[in-house]
Amino acid sequence: MLYAVLVAAAYSFTQAVAAIGGQHRVLTSARLGAYGTCALIAVAIVVLTYAFVTHDFRVRYVSHYSDRSMSTDYLIAALWGGQDGSLLWWSTLLAIYTAACVTWMRGRFRQLEPIVIATLMVTISFFAVLMLFAANPFQTNLAEAVQDGEGLNPALQNYWMIVHPPALYIGFVGCSIPFAFAVAALITGRLDNDWVIGVRKWMLFAWLFLSIGNVLGMVWAYEELGWGGFWAWDPVENAAALPWFTATAYLHSTMIQERRNMLKVWNVILICVTFFLTIFGTFLTRSGLISSVHSFAQSNIGVFFVWFMGLIVALSLALIVWRLPLLRAESQVEALLSRESAFVINNWSLVGIMVFVAGGTIFPKLSEWLYNETITVGPPFFNRWAAPIGLLIFLLMGLAPLLGWRKTSPKALRRAFVFPLAVSVAVATIHLLLGKRWGMPAFVAHDSTIHGLTGAAINGFMTAAPWVTITLVGFNTAVIVQEFFFGIRSRQSSARQKGEPENLIASLVRLVAKNRRRYGGYIVHLGITAMFLGFVGTAWSTTEEVSVVPGQSVNAAGYRVTYVAPRECPGSPKCSEAEQADTTKRMAFADLDVYRDGVLVARLSPAKFSYQRGQGQTTTEVGLLRGLLADLYIVLGPTEPGQQRALLQVHGNPLVSWIWVGVLVLMFGAAISLWPEVSLGRLGVWSAVRTSAAVAASAAMAIILASSLSVTGAALHRSGSTVRLTPSNQMPLASPGGGDSRQVEP
């Protein structure tokens, strides 16, 4: 099947190249060839899924990553659980993108279409070669088929691992389409603004899923790895974030090209770099170059990636240099106080942070080559330098909408800045005065290990970083509110002049509907603002390690936590039916009652699971109580059978939930920006069905991802680590000592 994919891709490539001459029949043939190639890849992924579902352990990949006890959802998730399958999954997504792109291009960009198809076919061929010669998911076991498979890594048997990799892959693979367009535009010399505007939605779609994928990865790390945080600057986490930075830069700089005919070279470079970084990220994860908790097994596929990355760099550079005369800007930045200058600084900051993170990620390998010594840079290093750049980008995010194109007159400047500045001053003052009382002081002492003036500057900045961030959260929120206010006011004013006055809601809806890109973008900014609020919470997080016996209590994050008793499943009569029936692992729980103001609010059951398979691998199941102000996050330490004493790590994580709220808002904003601009009345039957299906599929995907954030409680409930109280079951849970069931004994 993979040979067939390779042959079909090579054939379609040839037809596409032949179609550059402009013959319509040959182009049609190339299109059909591309569709055929995509269908063959679809056959391959369906056949592998069938092998998983029917437990066909003759296939080595199936026997390595599944066993008979796994449910169908995890069997499907195992498709991307290992290296070979994840490459086929990548190819499948690329096939879907290719088919969608070829369909979308009908009636558009006829000159570019053959080269777009050819570029996508080369990428598909690369993955086909990779699978055929280095990581074949269909390779059979040399010996006879095993009775049962080895099963999926327990850490990957998690709800988030079903949705996180596909979301991230959708983002990664989506960057191939803008790259194919960039190559086509450079080769044909058709370097006007139209193709940049055309591919903007493709990049926005990929960016949306990069954002979702990265945040789902944070959720997985937060809930499954049990170290209390959500981002550890792990090499693979960093690799997933790198294309996000350049894609974000592109989404902004493309607006300058559209408006001012500037930054043409820059935009092409950003597209090429973003695509390169997606391949580089895949290479980092799979080559075994850098050690990480996320890495796949070390293999020999690295050399294939190196050649492919070399090809991307050589092709992109050669084409850009060749077309440099056509890429000259037709205007330039006229004033510092203009939107384009804010965008340019924002772009440089985003690229700067990308270079910094990429450098830090590969630094251990670089130091090994240069100094014969592996020097690893950890989270403190990344936090110290990424925070100032991140806050600069956050500031620019608020400034840019306030500035006009070309230049901003002093009058317009005053009008735009009065309200956001007033709000910022108010927020900063309130934080200074009341922050400490709320457990979120404005200044948090920071002790950098760097000496001298640089160390003092870093210490000073990092100490004030929480205050600066909260102030900027206020500023950005005020800017967005003001933009909506001005828009609604302008709309209502023109409606009144027409004699058709509108109410507030109607104006808001019509305002957004008529300017989806602009106001969708503002909503995305609002989501990012909420996420920054979540990030800054880490400055006030607390961690306490306690050793407790049943009946003892500890205070954290505004809660009182009482250790009720240990519980081992299967075995203990207190275990649920599902826990009793699960013989694949030994589950050691510590049941904890959580009280707020003396009222029992939840029972948490952090646990350690020891699996029978995989050399008795152990996983940590976190006890988590979410809140908009703070999360209570409890990890159970090592346990021994029959032991009453429990070692608990109790974390108070303020404002973390705002990150998850932020990504939901971001998804909503991006969906508004992506919404098609055609009315259904203008479409034919088939097009209407297609559009409805696409909208329904997107909405379903968004609902699944959105609801996944809210069903965490249910997911954890299934794993036995958290039990939320409902009114009906509050009463029977009497507090220790048998007093009032809702009050804690002193």
Q: Which positions touch another protein (CB under 8 A)?
A: 8, 11-12, 15, 24-26, 28-33, 35-37, 39-40, 42-43, 46-47, 49-50, 53-54, 72, 106-111, 190, 192-194, 197, 258-259, 404-407, 409, 412, 415-416, 486-487, 490, 494, 515, 684-687, 689
Distance of closest approach, residue 574 Cβ to another protein, in angstroms: 36
Closest CA to 476 of 387, 399, 590: 399
Nearer to another protein, 436 or 489 (CB): 489
Residue closer to another protein, measured from CB, 150 or 258:
258
Which DSSP symbol is given to 559?
E
Minimum Å gap between C-beta 228 and another protein is: 39
- Evaluate whether 637 touches 226 at the Cβ level (below 8 Å): no
What's CA 52's distance to the chain center, in Å? 27
Q: How far is CA 439 from CA 168, 346, 453, 561, 629, in A?
A: 35, 33, 30, 19, 10
Judge whether 273 and 347 are in contact, CB under 8 Å.
Answer: no
Q: How near is the Cβ of 77 to another protein at its closest, in Å?
A: 15
In angstroms, give the least distance from the CB of 45 to another protein.
Answer: 9
DSSP H or E segment with residue 650: strand 646-654
Query: In the complex, what is the shortest distance from the CB of residue 323 to another protein, in angstroms, rounded to a whole number?
Result: 17
405 or 438: whose CB is closer to another protein? 405
Handedness of CA 730, 732, 733, 735 (dihedral sign): positive
| CA 674/CA 281 separation, integer angstroms | 26
Minimum CB–partner distance for residue 394 and another protein (Å)? 22
Helix 452-497 crosses helix 379-399 at what angle (to 10 degrees)?
Answer: 30
Whether the CB-CB separation of 258 and 197 falls below 8 Å is answered with yes
Residue number with CB closer to another protein (481 or 629): 481
Which CB sits closer to another protein, 25 or 498? 25
**Residue whose CB is less far from another protein, 331 or 547:** 331
Q: Exposed, middle or buried, 505 (CB in 10 Å: 0-12/13-18/19+)?
A: exposed
Indicate the residue type of 610: S
Distances (CA, A) of 328 to 200, 266, 331: 20, 10, 9
Indicate the residue among 200 and 567 with the shorter CB distance to another protein.
Answer: 200
In the complex, minimum distance from the CB of residue 436 to another protein, in angstroms, rounded to a whole number? 40
What would the DSSP string read from start to end of 85-120? HHHHHHHHHHHHHHHHHHHHHTTS-TTTHHHHHHHH
How far is it, in rounded angstroms, from Cα 48 to Cα 633? 39
Angle at 301 between CA 296 and CA 307, to 5 degrees: 135
Of the two residues 388 and 404, which places its CB atom closer to another protein in the complex? 404
* Strand blocks (E) in 472-575: 542-548, 553-556, 559-569
Identity of the residue, 19 or 289, whose beta carbon is nearer to another protein in the bound complex: 19
Q: Round to whole Å and give the CA distance between 533 and 531.
A: 5
Tokens of 284: 């980092």
Q: Select from 52, 142, 34 the least CA-distant residue to 89.
A: 52
Question: Nearer Cβ to another protein, position 385 or 486?
Answer: 486
Q: Which is nearer to another protein, 37 or 153 (by Cβ)?
A: 37
* List of residues 6+ apart from 378 with CB closer than 8 A: 233
For β-strands 599-604 and 722-724, DSSP reports them as: antiparallel
Q: Is-contact 488 507, C-beta < 8 A?
A: yes
Measured from the CB atom, the residue of 189 and 359 that comes closer to another protein is 189
Closest CB 245 distance from another protein, rounded Å? 27
Supply the minimum distance, in Å, between the C-beta of residue 171 and another protein. 25
Rounded CA-CA distance 461/465 in Å is 6
**Could you tell me how far CA 213 lies from the centroid of its own chain?**
3
Smaller CB separation from another protein, 50 or 438: 50
3-state SS string over 472-493? HHHHHHHHHHHHHHHHHHHHHH
Cα–Cα distance, 354 to 363 (Å, whole number): 14
**Which of residues 26 and 271 has its CB atom nearest to another protein in the complex?**
26
**92 vs 562, beta carbon nearer another protein:** 92
Q: Rounded to the nearest whole angstrom, what is the least distance from the CB of residue 502 to another protein in the complex?
A: 15
Nearest Cα neighbor of 319 from 275, 274, 272, 250 is 272
Minimum CB separation of residue 81 from another protein in Å reads: 18
Write down the least CB distance from residue 103 to another protein, Å: 11
Task: Tell me the C-alpha distance between 233 and 380, whole Å.
Answer: 9
Nearest distance in Å: CB 43, another protein:
5
CB 30 → another protein: shortest distance, Å?
8
Q: Which residue has the tokens 């009569």?
A: 573
Distance, in Å, from the CA atom of 514 to the CA atom of 501, rounded to the nearest integer, reads 17
